Chain A
């Protein structure tokens, strides 16, 4: 069982790290600001989700696991609001006076 858990952790953490790399690649290569915001909010978000998922089987206690999930939830919340705020601010700037 622990071997399975370890393999799962290994896969999830690797995939998460790869998504962070892809997010940065998108940030460097995408042609416009809003596309770059897509890369940032979506790839990095899934990256963090995978890292949290991978660390869950390694959590020392139930509360530690719950805490990891809560951190992920807060990250989702903050990513969604932040990209909304940034996109809105960019839009006002463009169409503003």
Chain B
């Protein structure tokens, strides 16, 4: 199926090179651009690329505008999440009605869904605790009186727009 000369393989190879360049840049920001450290940085960048290729295949297409919109939304939501939980903590009595909700996600099991649930745990009032193979997520929420299911659906939709295929396969 996969030969090294197909255009797909070639784009994925250039994708990997781009990735290792990114990791090397990270290294230079963190450690500094001194030439004698750079050899270690190169090894680290290759190791990081190798790990990332195992976790997130180079063929997976991400949509840049989708990611930008998602980032904006994520940052706003993180602020809301922090203030929300801080407010709930300092009111008397603590304004929480903790409980569990289940939510059926369309995201495929594996790396994509794990990423989505990890991101979800930084969003206001929600903390995914378990994910079943059939797509049922068990989510702990701080306040069951909130429209949690709607918020979850909105989060999922925003996440799907970062993938060009809408998260149909993974």
Contacts and interface: CB of A to CB of B under 8 A. Distances in A.
A80 interface: yes
Nearest to B119: A80
Given A35-B142, A39-B85, A41-B127, A70 B26 contact: yes
B86 A23 contact: yes
State the main secondary structure of chain B at its contact with A: helix
B124 interface: yes
Interface in B120-134: 121-122, 124-125, 127-130
Contacts, number: 105
Interface string A23-48: 10110011110110111011101110
B78 A30 contact: no
B90 interface: yes
A66 interface: yes
Contact of B118 (A29, A42, A81, A90): A81
State the main secondary structure of chain A at its contact with B: helix
B129 A66 contact: no
B127 A37 contact: yes
A67 B86 CA distance: 27
A38 B78 contact: no
A70 B28 CA distance: 12
Contact of A42 (B26, B98, B117, B122): B122
B9 interface: no
A54 B103 CA distance: 37
A88 B98 contact: no
A79 interface: yes
B94 A87 contact: no
Closest 6 CB pairs of A and B: A46-B82, A26-B89, A22-B86, A80-B118, A87-B129, A34-B140
Interface of B: 26, 29-30, 32, 78-79, 81-90, 94, 96, 98, 114, 117-119, 121-122, 124-125, 127-130, 138, 140, 142
Interface of A: 18-19, 22-23, 25-26, 29-32, 34-35, 37-39, 41-43, 45-47, 49, 63, 66-67, 70, 76, 79-81, 83-84, 87-88, 90-91
12 contacts: A23-B85, A26-B94, A29-B94, A30-B94, A30-B98, A34-B98, A43-B85, A46-B82, A46-B86, A70-B29, A76-B122, A80-B118
